[in-house]
Amino acid sequence: MRKLNFDNRFCRELPSDPITSNYTRQVKGALWSSVAPTPVSAPSLMAYSGPVAEMLGLTEADIHHPAMLNALAGNQLLEGMQSYATCYGGHQFGNWAGQLGDGRAIYLGELVHNTQRFELQLKGAGETPYSRRADGRAVLRSSLREFLCSEAMHYLGVPTTRALSLVRTGDQVVRDMFYDGNPQMEQGAIVCRVAPSFTRFGHFELLASRGELALLKQLIGFTIDRDFNDWLKQQAQPLLKDDPATALIEAWFTEVCERTARMIAHWMRVGFVHGVMNTDNMSITGLTIDYGPYGWVDNFDPGWTPNTTDAQGRRYCFGRQHDIGRWNLERLADALSTLLPDAVGLNHALDQYESVYTQSLIDALVGKFGLDAWQDEDGEMINRCFELMTRAEVDMTLFFTHLPHVNLAKPEVSDLKVAFYTDQGYKNFEADFNDWLVHYAQRISQSSEPAEARHTRMAKHNPRYVLRNYLAQEAIDLAEQGDNSMIETLLTLLQNPYTQQTGMEKFEEKRPDWARHKAGCSMLSCSS
């Protein structure tokens, strides 16, 4: 195995836990703990992302080298790798949870290729000092879902962490999927996640909660220098790494707010529901992170959540993601305020979150509906459409895929019937939709844009293929029988989600009736 270029700045520049034994504990005055992955019995490579491998400078020979397989399974470290887990806290479902940390994610270090830096992280590689009462492992179903979704989101144009590989461990893991007292043995797997940074809001929150303000300053300075370096070069204020100036912290927080706003607007554009937007699941760099009980909206419903743990309160449902993003940023602001003389600059940054989100969402809606520009009255028209889609049970992805092909000279909802989940829904709201389409056609007619140009523009905002939960579950069912073909099919398909692909018609279809209430298709949990 040839030598790769690792440069592990996080470990080199930030304080470590002095205890090197691997047992659950509170870790104070440190940001990371040295820990080795727990070896597995029979690792096998189920799938890998060729584009991510290329991004990392890895060849096909590298990926299939026995030493690389062992590294991706947690059975050995390659030269230059350093394994560790980081310490952070977080608010979970609105409540402060104290220290959390990487309970089953173990870093392999920072790989540098073509001047770009990437943290590699094994999810499901065994216990760490932050595992609490868990085993540090992950099951095949959750690992497969994270692997596919990481790549699907990237090709949708959504800021996201990536996934390099999916490895079957050959070991069994005990999981109670719905926390209902029925644990079962499941196949274990490990996914190698890749991102410029896995730093979370919770890293900063924990330090502030403990009053470790010097360390909080150090982490902020490090994060700005390493993870926001391009942004930093555009700032007039110089960086003092161990004591960043108030103005720079405020400007940096504004950048975090803007990135978070754009990310969530993308979620709303494609119908993605994260499912568990705790502050420890929020990336400081504005990437979608931690693919657990996520899902895509099938029948349009702002109140829908795929997470059974959230079924009653619906805190993290589709329509609340913008509000929760704001709430999470407010908790980060609380942490940063411990270093600042007042909260004026932080409040301005939160206002900027609202402004950037609103504009990003408007841009998305203009593209999705094929409008030439935003007019104030468009909001009422679009809200009426979403109301009808919710009441009539209309598939979000199919509706927007077929909307460009409605005959605007004689608009009829029959052109969109494929998107309706029930005949009754179609019958009950046929007249309402026809009225809406007449209004929509009148609005489009105000533009001089050629129809072909409008259709092309709409196609860039409306994916034909998304990783519907039932598709992921079909891939899981096959993979558990040793058949990885569906993983490969979906991985290839989802690399071109906006382009119709020959022979892939079945992947455009709406959720089948059998998947409406099936575990893994409509009901998911944090158990993974």
Q: Which are the catalytic amino acids?
A: 280
- In DSSP notation, 468-518 reads -HHHHHHHHHHHTTT--HHHHHHHHHTTSTTS--TT-GGGGSPPPGGGSS-
Interacting residues of 405 by C-beta distance below 8 A, sequence separation 6+:
415, 455
Closest CA to 45 of 226, 237, 192: 192
As a whole number of angstroms, the distance between CA 334 and CA 444 comes to 45
With residue 99 as reference, give the H or E element that holds it.
strand 95-99
As a whole number of angstroms, the distance between CA 418 and CA 425 comes to 12
C-alpha dist (Å) from residue 506 to 209, 216, 471, 490, 493? 51, 51, 10, 12, 12
Both tokens assigned to 470: 């039932």
Backbone angles phi and psi of 403, in degrees to 5: -55, -40
Strand partners, 105: 123
As a whole number of angstroms, the distance between CA 34 and CA 77 comes to 13
Closest CA to 62 of 122, 1, 112: 1
As a whole number of angstroms, the distance between CA 163 and CA 120 comes to 9
